[in-house]
Structure 1
């Protein structure tokens, strides 16, 4: 399923420019469910502190969150993996499910604007 994160269907919005303003606009348009958390994180980590030091980590986190949320099929798959991992009593199965989530997230972080 990791190929899904790097090769979205034509119906999946393209990744925005890699800056806070473009990312926020893309989230507002295509994944508005993320907007309250994005704004709260921005306020807490950047705006209220007047410190841009955390900006790379902030962008990295929300880049991946948006990358997954913009694709409803991928988002549902990731949620299903998390749910199945939380419900299983089998450590090996839970680990494998979470490793798949990790691979998806890792692939998503390397997406470029326009992909």
Structure 2
């Protein structure tokens, strides 16, 4: 997702610095519905284990979650595709829909800080 792509989507908040603290602050400010799950996941995977090894995977997951949730139209489209795939009776069509949703999720997760 390029800066120009984000600009075309309206007032999508920029991606924060790529740190847990900055990501949490951005989630709290712009997508607070994600905050309880973010905090729970942080406690379970990092804080309660005192293990920093999972931090890169944690950041990758939550970077992608925020990148998608910060753009309501994109998030809605991904969920529509996933819902349509779940209801599809044709496996090929369902697979195609899931692949489309996955591509949109991956593209959103490529956003860099400030974009």
Q: Give TM-score scaled by structure 1 length.
A: 0.92
Taking a change above 3 Å as real, the CA distance of residues 34 and 6 of structure 1, as seen in their structure-2 partners, is farther
Q: Corresponding residue for 2:52? A: 52
Q: Corresponding residue for 2:114? A: 114
Consecutive unaligned residues in structure 2, runs of 5 or more? none
Distance in 2 between the 1:93 and 1:27 partners? Answer: 34
Q: CA RMSD in A?
A: 1.7
Deviations 1:1-28 (A, max 9, x none): xx68982134000000000000001111
Q: Corresponding residue for 2:29? A: 29
Q: Corresponding residue for 1:82? A: 82
Deviation at 1:107, TM superposition (A): 1.3
**1:14 has 2:14 as partner:** yes
Counterpart contact for 1:31–1:70, Cα < 8 Å: yes
Give every structure 1 segment of 4 or more consecutive aligned residues whose post-TM-superposition deviation is greater than 6 Å. Answer: none
Distance in 1 between the 2:74 and 2:28 partners? Answer: 19
Taking a change above 3 Å as real, the CA distance of residues 96 and 57 of structure 1, as seen in their structure-2 partners, is same
Taking a change above 3 Å as real, the CA distance of residues 6 and 32 of structure 1, as seen in their structure-2 partners, is farther
Consecutive unaligned residues in structure 1, runs of 5 or more? none
Q: Give TM-score scaled by structure 2 length.
A: 0.92
